[in-house]
Structure 1
Amino acid sequence: MKTGRRKIVISEFMDESAVDSLRRHFDVHARATLVDEPDRLRDLLADADALIVRNRTQVTAALLDGAPRLSVVGRLGVGLDNIALDACKSRGVQVFPATGANAAAVAEYVIATSLMLLRGAYLSSAAVAEGQWPRTALSKGREAAGGTMAVIGFGGIGQLVARLARGIGMQVVGHDPQIPADAACWQEAGARGMSFDDALRAADVVTIHVPLVDSTHNLIGPTQIKMLKTHAVLINTSRGGVIDESALADALKRGRLGGAALDVFADEPLKAGSPLAGVPNLILTPHIAGLTVQSNERVSTLVASRVTDALLAGE
């Protein structure tokens, strides 16, 4: 039903209090399952002024063509590879990501999985409960303090990870092709910028924080894995295509790598029969590193505010 108010479509889950704040000003159609209902989504977008998405909704040129009134896209997160930015720009559609709002959640995930994988002792509950006592086998874990973390990609999340790692006694090195090694941000975060290869060779933990573009596709492949220490652990919370999943699985099976934590995958959801299935010393999570109760509230509130300001400014 037409209300005379501007219309917002929300195709994935968003904090309800933020949705309510949008309803004060706009006609809001919010359903977390719309991403899986393409016909319904297209119908709703035919006269929509704004669209709010997470990472699953593909904001393509074709989708934009079916939404001639659309002027704003809000992204409940920071990655923009699911949004056709050039198509948005050519149509005058503003794109608002939730930059920084989930950084704390991602950084804590990185530190937590680093500690779990380095120590290697936290997945033994079932064995201990059954009367086994793998004390000798689990006494060879490594401490994070005194080790080196390599942060690949030194934007806001990477810098926060570096600060937390320093807080638990780690040395931090890193690489970012967009940031010179003598840039102030390295020193401010207590880190040292260096070449990509040197950062990998120095690391006990490698954490990836880069966008998925042509230059970062399979950034970590067989050649890069061979540069790592055999006890090193690898963590990816950025985008799945950044790591060669088959090469990683092979390295873990052969004991060539200490462990890995993947929150993102080349294809999501991860398909049954993936080469990652049943791989030892591997933590798999379903793209939730940036999702906590608090971060969802921050992300949703920030995007709601930016979308509101943009739409009201256009009246």
Structure 2
Amino acid sequence: MRLLNEAAEVRTVSATDLVALEKEIQDVDGLILRTAGKIDGSVLDWAKRLKVVGRHGVGFDHIDIPAATQHGVQVVYTPGANTESVCEHVFAMMIGLSKHFPKMMRELIAGNYHARTSMRGREIAGKTLGIVGFGRIGRKLAEIAHLGFGMKVIYHDVVPAPEDVELRAAARRVEFDELLRTADYISMHVPLDATTRRMMNRQALAQVQTGCILINTSRGPVVDEEAVADALDAGLLWGYGGDVFDVEPPPLDHPLICRPDVMLTPHSAAQTEEGLKNMATGVARDVLAVLSGHTPEFPVNDPLEVERVRKELGLEPLYRSML
């Protein structure tokens, strides 16, 4: 807020529904989104002065990027700002489920101290970690898994990682089916789009090796939650760790809530002091960079294309040295 207040008049919208947005962003030059609010073509039609939308976070599936480009609006985000926070969250869930933390805590509260001898956990050292989506978080996770825990790392991504990245984590790219069959742990790190929605469905879960632990800290709809509950009941999965849900907040009768073989958190993997500060300062700097005529560090849509569209629409240029 200090960075923003020093450079601009800052307003906080009263609500994030379409009626409030229509009324309150008509004369703004920049807009920063945190967790709520959907920005589509109709919203962009109202905001005639809008030049830049900043996403306080990594995911931008609730921003219509093609529509933003068509309106000559630059979109920026904060990749890498919460990488450490999310990776630590994943390992907390991997370790907690491997050691039966939810079950052990429940038994201890119930006075059953002798549960310690009736349930055996397992080590993650030396096991195989399958990472679905090998971006910043996936790559950092792989490095920690290999160097810190001696895990074998396989990954699935539509684009192969650079050779030096693979070497650092001893990571091997495989097809999705092979990853499902051979991983002891699977961690989801893909953006939400038409190709990843329900990617971890009944068909996929039927292929995992018995005793696999599945973790999802990406987007809720990437995983079929009903199918996960059934896979747990059938003993296909050892446990499930989820920080995101298909519907947020999840209903109280959600099929995964209160299960002793599940660890759930309320979309809080990035909610650390360090992660939040990195996201807040990063998005503020990039929004202010665009408003002052400089290219942002982390653009979502291509600044050259945004500038070309603005020229076609007869809008003032955003950048000082393009086209």
Q: TM-score, normalised by structure 2?
A: 0.86
Question: Residue in 2 aligned with 1:81?
Answer: 61
Partner SS state of residue 237, structure 2: coil
Match of 2:149 among 168, 185, 193: 168
Match of 1:301 among 275, 281, 284: 281
Distance 1:259 1:126, change over 3 A: closer
Q: Is the CA contact 1:253–1:279 (under 8 Å) kept in the aligned structure 2?
A: no
Aligned partners of 2:195, 2:272: CA distance in 1, in Å?
Answer: 30
Aligned partners of 1:122, 1:242: CA distance in 2, in Å?
Answer: 24
Percent identity, aligned pairs only, is 37
Aligned partners of 2:62, 2:182: CA distance in 1, in Å?
Answer: 33
Aligned partners of 1:90, 1:126: CA distance in 2, in Å?
Answer: 53
Which of 74-83 and 125-134 deviates more?
125-134
Q: Is the CA contact 1:258–1:281 (under 8 Å) kept in the aligned structure 2?
A: yes
Distance 1:237 1:255, change over 3 A: same
Aligned partners of 2:145, 2:122: CA distance in 1, in Å?
Answer: 15
Partner SS state of residue 86, structure 2: helix
**Alignment of 1:261 onto 2:241:** yes
Give the aligned CA root-mean-square deviation in angstroms.
1.8
Stretches of structure 1 that go unaligned for 5 or more consecutive residues are 1-18
Answer 1 or 2: higher relative contact order, Cα 8 Å, separation at least 6: 2
Q: Is the CA contact 1:111–1:164 (under 8 Å) kept in the aligned structure 2?
A: no
The one-letter code of the counterpart of 1:101 is: A
Partner SS state of residue 274, structure 2: helix
- The alpha-carbon deviation at position 280 of structure 1 amounts to 3.7
* Equivalent pairs, count: 293
- The alpha-carbon deviation at position 90 of structure 1 amounts to 0.3
Question: Residue in 2 aligned with 1:107?
Answer: 87
Aligned partners of 1:256, 1:125: CA distance in 2, in Å?
Answer: 23
- The alpha-carbon deviation at position 217 of structure 1 amounts to 1.3
- The alpha-carbon deviation at position 38 of structure 1 amounts to 4.2
Q: Is the CA contact 1:45–1:67 (under 8 Å) kept in the aligned structure 2?
A: yes
Q: Is the CA contact 2:130–2:179 (under 8 Å) kept in the aligned structure 1?
A: yes
Which of 194-203 and 117-126 deviates more?
117-126
Distance 1:149 1:59, change over 3 A: same
Aligned partners of 2:223, 2:235: CA distance in 1, in Å?
Answer: 18
The one-letter code of the counterpart of 1:137 is: S
Stretches of structure 2 that go unaligned for 5 or more consecutive residues are 294-317
Question: Residue in 2 aligned with 1:227?
Answer: 207
**Alignment of 1:55 onto 2:27:** no
Match of 1:275 among 241, 249, 255: 255
Per-residue CA deviation, residues 256-299 of structure 1 (Å, 9 max, x unaligned), is 21001111112111123223234341112111112211100001
- The alpha-carbon deviation at position 116 of structure 1 amounts to 0.7
